[in-house]
Amino acid sequence: MIMVGMISVYALAAVGISLQFMMVVNVFITLYVVGGNALISRFIGQRRKKRASSLLFALALFALFLSVFVSLFGYTLSDTLYALMGAQAEVIEEGSTYFGILSLGMSVIFLDALLYNALSAAGDTKSSLYIKLFSSALNALLNYVFIFGHFGFEAMGIAGAAYATVIAYAFNVIAYYLLLKKTSAKLHFIPIVHLPDLKRAWLVGWSAALERAISSLSFLVFVAIITMYGTSELAGYQVGLRIEGIAFMPGFGFAIAAMALVGQNIGANRFERAYAMGIISGRMAYIFMGCVGIFLIFYPEFLVHFFTDDIDTIRVASYYLILVGLAQIPLALNFVYSAALRGAGATKMTLYINVASLWFLRVIPSYVAYEVGFSVIWVFIIMNIETLLKGIIYWYVYQGKSWLYTKI
């Protein structure tokens, strides 16, 4: 995003919108990842490694099958998707190039998500750490080479950023494949398709996918509302969202821990320990995210300057960071407790909470604020209020413990 921001504010906005499209792509990924996580973690808790490994193989085939359709759709309709978001002509031109190339790499993106989450569910996050560190460095290097044209390569602009991303994902998949071939790996590829297990994963995953689909639609509408304010507001929101990702990371990490540990302990019939794992993960998440939130509140402009020199974009992004810095603790609870519920297979519960919250507490009030004539800052305030209320709801549901006994 920093390098793309050096091209133009239109390129910055285009890549930002593509992140929203990737949220829609994640709907399809959720179909096999969430149900697969819940089952794999339970199998590992029951010490049934072979069963977990055969499920991983079946899910990989399913992921490749889905990726073909998503690739074709994204590549052929990328310009139409940006136009539907109400983007300006320059943003559509840059965005269709970027997302069109990204769509061609959906097979490696789908496999990367599966392998990362499966190993995490089995309790191996260190291997992913090393793989992702190397691929992130590779991605950054290739961005520098392809975007600006170094070491004999032609400057490709935003297209270079897309190629770099796809190559980095391909590296991840190769590294995971080599890892799974090791005898010491937590999981392997065992070429057995056990249809009942695949069906069980699907039954858990469909409600999580439906939740993700409705949530993604709500985020697309939310971004479309911000787009109506103008390109600077859109770019400022996207830059702020990327910087907030620094605070997200501990939340995602402890959410993965909660999902894996809750599922494994439920599989081992240790329900109180499963509950405690979510509580501990939640505490650690909100301590880390709260500390980062303080930094976002006091040094927003310093962080935004790394991405752009556009004054209006800096102003919008800075307001965004100050406001979301205040909401990091309830956001941490959202991450961890919803992940714990998914790890237990209680995906219908998260479906109801997220859909109701996003639409009735965020999207609809934000649209009303735009129509009334309020500034984009009020949209960010509404977003924060929704995060706080949803965090309270998840805390209440988690305390009830009924989700611990979800049948898969």
Banded model confidence at residue 309, pLDDT cuts 50, 70, 90 = confident
Average pLDDT estimate for 327-331: 91
Average pLDDT estimate for 109-133: 91
For residue 401, give Cα distances in angstroms to 24, 208, 349, 395, 406.
31, 19, 12, 11, 10
* pLDDT > 80? residue 100: yes
Average pLDDT estimate for 49-74: 91
Residues 6 or more apart whose CB falls under 8 angstroms from that of 364 comprise none
Supply the pLDDT for residue 353.
92
Q: Could you report the per-residue pLDDT of 373-401, keeping only the tens digit for each?
A: 999 999 999 999 999 999 999 999 999 99
Question: 121, 102, 113: which is closest to 31 by C-alpha?
Answer: 113
Contact 324, 334 (CB under 8 A): no
Q: How far apart are CA 385 and CA 387, in angstroms?
A: 5
**Mean per-residue pLDDT over the chain, rounded:** 88
Average pLDDT estimate for 310-324: 89
Supply the pLDDT for residue 395.
94
Banded model confidence at residue 171, pLDDT cuts 50, 70, 90 = very high
* pLDDT > 80? residue 276: yes
* pLDDT > 90? residue 236: no
* pLDDT > 80? residue 60: yes
* pLDDT > 80? residue 16: no
Average pLDDT estimate for 207-227: 83
Q: How far apart are CA 40 and CA 122, in angstroms?
A: 7
Structure tokens at 262: 């809750």
* Sign of the torsion angle spanned by Cα atoms 30, 253, 234, 138: negative
Average pLDDT estimate for 164-178: 95
Angle formed by the axes of helices 195-229 and 9-45, nearest 10°: 160
Residues 6 or more apart whose CB falls under 8 angstroms from that of 80 comprise none
Q: Which helix (H) or strand (E) holds 133?
A: helix 126-148
Please tell me the pTM assigned to this model. 0.74
Contact 317, 243 (CB under 8 A): yes
In the chain, pLDDT over 90 holds for what percent of residues?
38
* pLDDT > 90? residue 63: yes
Residue 163, CB-side half-sphere exposure with 13 Å CA sphere: 17
Q: How far apart are CA 146 and CA 162, in angstroms?
A: 9
